[in-house]
Amino acid sequence: MATTFHFSTNLIKTTSFPQCNSITAFIAVSSKHSKSLLIRTAVNSRALTFNFNTTLFSLNCVAHHKFHDQQEVTDSLSSVTPNATSIASSIKYHAEFTPMFSRESFELPQAFFATAQSVRDTLIINWNATYDYYEKLNVKQAYYLSMEFLQGRALLNAIGNLELTGPYAEALSKLGYRLEDVACQEPDAALGNGGLGRLASCFLDSLATLNYPAWGYGLRYKYGLFKQLITKGGQEEVAEDWLEMGSPWEIVRNDIAYPVKFFGKVVTGSDGKKHWIGGEDVIAVAHDVPIPGYKTKTTINLRLWSTKAASEEFDLYAYNSGRHTEAYEALANAEKICYILYPGDDSIEGKVLRLKQQYTLCSASLQDIIARFERRSGATVNWEEFPEKVAVQMNDTHPTLCIPELLRILIDINGLSWKDAWNITQRTVAYTNHTVLPEALEKWSLDLMQKLLPRHVEIIEMIDEELIRTIIAEYGTKDSDLLEKKLKEMRILDNVELPSEFADVLIKSKEAVDIPSEELQTSEEVENNNDGDEEEAAAKNDEIDESFVQGKKEELPEPVPEPPKLVRMANLCVVSGHAVNGVAEIHSEIVRDEVFNAFYKLWPDKFQNKTNGVTPRRWIRFCNPSLSKIITEWIGTEDWVLNTEKLAELRKFVDNENLQVQWSEAKRNNKIKVATFLKEKTGYSVSPDAMFDIQVKRIHEYKRQLLNVLGIVYRYKKMKEMSAEERKANFVPRVCIFGGKAFATYAQAKRIVKFITDVGATVNHDPEIGDLLKVIFVPDYNVSVAELLIPASELSQHISTAGMEASGTSNMKFAMNGCILIGTLDGANVEIREEVGADNFFLFGAQAHEIAGLRKERTEGKFIPDPRFEEVKEFVRSGAFGPYNYDELIGSLEGNEGYGRADYFLVGKDFPSYIECQEKVDKAYRDQRTWTRMSILNTAGSYKFSSDRTIHEYARDIWNIEPIKLP
């Protein structure tokens, strides 16, 4: 009889291994620093045999060993020394006994799944040990809630963190495969879109590496965002298929499921408690993904929720009656919640679905967190201790509903008073702001939320009332205008009348205002204010009297529509959390001084800065091994992977010719790899001797891919006006690479994608230009593509309108890999420039404090565009890049006001500065010694931008958690 092993992740009590007569085979996989273990069961004492393409492999088993608890298993297995042979046996075991493919072949896809599952076995042991230890110590844990986790491929990262890259490469070689080829079979997990999700994933890596007790919570999107295709029409979206063959990393926890309710109504019971009843119920089911740390046993968890309906929701009668669609309607409604990331919300149905997603994440996660807290508390739960054991971080406003959800659970289910529950909630939750864009500061229709989450609206109204009391207490009622302004600016409920408790506050305050004597008029003054024209006044009175006598009805003005009633989610986060942080110094200043200034004046201690970071493991150590080897050689240690401040030591050798030669060779080798990739992916051939100029990020007007491509158009036009000799003398060869997705309903962003591809189609086929200029759009940009492009980059564009990019993280990755940035003083660019040196950063454009004035200048019609900008627009309109009509795209850059016009993102304003800065880039690139020096200094100055540093700051300043290293 086979033995079933139950692996826990701390929520479920660990089950001991039962006694049996079966045989347990041990396959040990470990590093030189820590031993990790594999456990599998055989059916008898004979050797297990595997047949792959008629080749027999054998795996020896250890017979008749009984284990009574997990520690005994761990202790026994720890003594086994891992090697390539045992790893190969583990891979073969999984190919035979945990298959996701047929047995007829052992091709690359099968090899990947079997390899990943063998790694997962290793992770499970460390994973269980981590949370068993946290359980034993009952430590405070941080819980990171995010709608996105852009993980990328996991195989190379996992074996790299476990220090098993060499043994796995050798093991796969024994089986006839290269590790790199096997790793390429893994699809990117489609759980995120851009920087928000990638930041969350970097944070999980750092939390595990630094041994912090933490957990990530997200949604398990079946189709992710979308897969991007580039056709003649531009971007097309198709469903992402990352789960088509299943995921070897996740473990579904069917025993960990929570009810999530929508709609219904709120009633008050005989006990005076509120009860949310009726409506639509779904079930959130946990899927766990282990996240290993680097050179540590600590392995933390990313818990992703999928949704389903209870089996009784399937209407068997309707199905048997032929009403098939009706029969599984409830099941389909439940499952579609986790179909895709950010479903289009132009329709009411889309808005409802997005709000359901957000609430599902918050409700399931909070129920899970509280269940864990209650279990660890034992028989007596002291809710005052909850903030001492739990820290909840909201990554942007998407998880805002965890605030009213926590209050609901504490009050309605656990019987706490409003005062106690509010105090606990405020001490537990914290908010990271990621944007200052008005459209991205999330607001929800109050009516929609009322229908979907009626109890939560009641709780939000109570929070709003608490805020109103605080505002009145702070500002008093004497100055009615000031009080009205503060209420309008700060309330959570926008365009909603004051609660009855406060209804007469503003009226009384206005009545109490003393009218200045100079504003009082005597009856004589009133008479004299008729401009001295008594006859005109009399005539007007006659007209009024006549119209009244004749019964004429005065035409009334059109009624002004009432503004929509909204819930301002960012305000709710700021009011309810104990900490609010921006993600770069300039961004945090804007948050304090502009976006939430009224709140900052009220609660200055809440506001912090936590400049973003990226994990140096994935973003240089693993994705750029050739450069990493050079860094280690010159610094003299590999400790820089954990202590990135050691990168600064490269500055001592920056002028060393041997280092410069090695550095340049590593960069060129990476460029050759990218050239091969681009040929396979796009069909375009590029020269590795040209400068690789890269802009890869979400397509958005504020990120200004349009400025980049218009600069390319200007460059191309000037080239066409020159002779071949002049072109060569004036321009450095460039390969301009774009990548990123435009949101499916963002028409202007999709026009930009189309424009880039049209420019590329024209330029790349122009025989006069040849290798002097290439324009490539890489379809379906993702983490894996980034890992290839970033090490090969030489110039990277981070050119957002100043004051609009919260931070950026790709800028950090590029700098870390020795790429020189061209950019504005926006987001983390400001700090990167400070660290790498102003001489090693190409700066252009207006600064954040100038933007409002420049927009006002435009509105007043005072802006005079540069002739070169007008020239470029005219060139585009001439049809030089095909028959597509770009009037709407170019029209957005024209006019002085109006939606979709007036160049809101100041492309025209910054265009002259941008192309002049690009001329400086060309000049610098011609001197390769100087350029390489700048490249080295960018890597040396990137040490601050490790996510390890960021996580240490969160842990110390917001979460109040300590590292817990496993014994």
State the catalytic residues.
Answer: 434, 697-698, 703, 809, 813
Residue 823 β-bridge partners:
798, 843
Task: Provide the sign of the torsion angle of the four alpha carbons 824, 825, 827, 833, taken in this order.
Answer: positive
Provide the token pair at 677.
């990739």
Question: How many C-alpha atoms does 515 have within 13 Å on its Cβ side?
Answer: 6
Task: Provide the sign of the torsion angle of the four alpha carbons 443, 446, 447, 453, taken in this order.
Answer: positive
Cβ within 8 Å of residue 18, ≥6 positions away:
3
- Residue 377 to residues 383, 399, 425, 802, Cα–Cα distance (Å): 9, 26, 18, 49
User: What are the φ and ψ backbone dihedral angles of 759, each rounded to 5 degrees?
Assistant: -60, -45
Helices (H), 390-516: 402-408, 418-428, 446-452, 454-475, 480-490, 505-512
Instruction: Quote the CA–CA distance of 298 and 126 in Å, as a whole number.
Output: 6
Which of 945, 830, 813, 804 is CA-nearest to residue 434?
804
Cβ–Cβ under 8 Å, residues 936 and 663: yes
The single residue listed with the structure tokens 């949310």 is 276
Instruction: Quote the CA–CA distance of 917 and 920 in Å, as a whole number.
Output: 5
Instruction: Quote the CA–CA distance of 637 and 644 in Å, as a whole number.
Output: 11
Cβ–Cβ under 8 Å, residues 238 and 226: yes
Residue 287 β-bridge partners:
252, 304
Provide the token pair at 819.
């790429």
Instruction: Quote the CA–CA distance of 308 and 335 in Å, as a whole number.
Output: 5
DSSP per-residue string spanning 227-292: EEEEETTEEEEE---TTTT--SS-EEEEEEEEEEEES-EEEE-TTS-EEEESSEEEEEEEEEEEEE
Q: How far apart are the first and last CA of the chain?
A: 35
Which of 238, 151, 165, 243 is CA-nearest to residue 202?
151
